[in-house]
Each structure stands twice: as C-alpha cells, then as structure tokens.
Amino acid sequence: MIGLLYLGGLISLIGGIWLLVVAFKQSVWWGLGSLFIGPVALVFVILHWQDSKKPFLISLAGTLLCLFAAWKLSTVASMGGMST
C-alpha cells in the first residue's frame, strides 16, 4: 500500500510539472503565477482547458490515488494490522 502512495505522488508530480510547462508555454506570467500562487493554476486550467486538460487530469488522478492509499493505510492501522 505504501508503494501505491508513492506511485500516486509520482503521477501527481508529473502532472503538475506538465501543467507548469503548459502554463509557461502560454506566457511567462501564467507560468510564474501557477508556480507561486496556487489558485492561479486553477484559473489557468479553467481558461485554457483544451491545452491543460491532460496534465490536470493526470495530476488529479495521482492525487486521488494518494488519497485512496492513505485511506486504506489508515484503515489497516486502525484495525491493528500494522506494527509500530
């Protein structure tokens, strides 16, 4: 399950970097805004959906995979399945 958590993090990181590359290709200001101010990246995704759809969805899938793995790990730990 830890491997799934790492895999989700890696997928999310790849999608996030790809999204930054797309934003910087649009303009330096979109890229810098997306890099330093989180909500700007969301605005970029909304305004440039056609260009940013794939990297956003890949990043979202990685984040959901991380959340699922963390939820499963917490469930196993609460049942006493993991030793400390």
More confident residue, 76 or 59: 59
To the nearest whole number, what is the mean pLDDT of the chain? Answer: 93
State how far the Cα of 67 lies from the Cα of 57, in Å rounded to an integer: 15
Residue 83 reports pLDDT greater than 90 = no
pLDDT digits (tens, 9 = 90+) for 41-68: 999 999 999 999 999 999 999 999 999 9
Question: What DSSP state is assigned to residue 79?
Answer: T
- Distance (Å) of CA 11 to CA 50, 66, 81: 20, 9, 27
pTM, two decimals, is 0.86
